[in-house]
Amino acid sequence: MHGDMDQGQRDLIMKEFRSGSSRVLIATDLLARGIDVQQVSLVINYDLPANRENYIHRIGRGGRFGRKGVAINFVTADDVRMMREIEQFYSTQIEEMPMNVADLI
């Protein structure tokens, strides 16, 4: 979901997420806060958030209520600095994705 979609398209996508018919959430800052979606197992950050604080709101959509969740970040060379800032801010290390993606799920 992105900012260039009209409200009807956004509503349809959110309905699919809430019903469980779609379990993958591809997020930009448009969906960083203010949505309640359960049973999401995978969050893909197409781009990194504009600020570090929004990162936790994005990835927090996956793996709720004791379920396993995975967050994948698409990171360009220009994003590496922000990724390191996010790691420092949350005192964590974000691992590079393994060759066998099935190991994550």
pLDDT per residue as tens digits for the range 23-64: 777 766 776 666 666 666 778 888 888 888 888 877 876 555
Average pLDDT in the 60-85 region?
A: 81
Q: What are phi and psi of 25, to 5 degrees?
A: -115, 115
Cβ–Cβ under 8 Å, residues 41 and 70:
yes
Q: What is the phi-psi region of residue 77: left when phi exceeds 0, alpha when psi lies from -120 to 50, beta otherwise?
A: alpha
9 — pLDDT class (breaks 50, 70, 90): very high
Give domain limits for the chain: 7-96
Per-residue H/E/C for 52-78: CHHHHHHHCCECCCCCCCEEEECCCHH
Return the pLDDT at 89: 94
CATH fold, domain 7-96, is Rossmann fold (3.40.50)
DSSP string of 38-54?
-SB-EEEESS--SSTHH
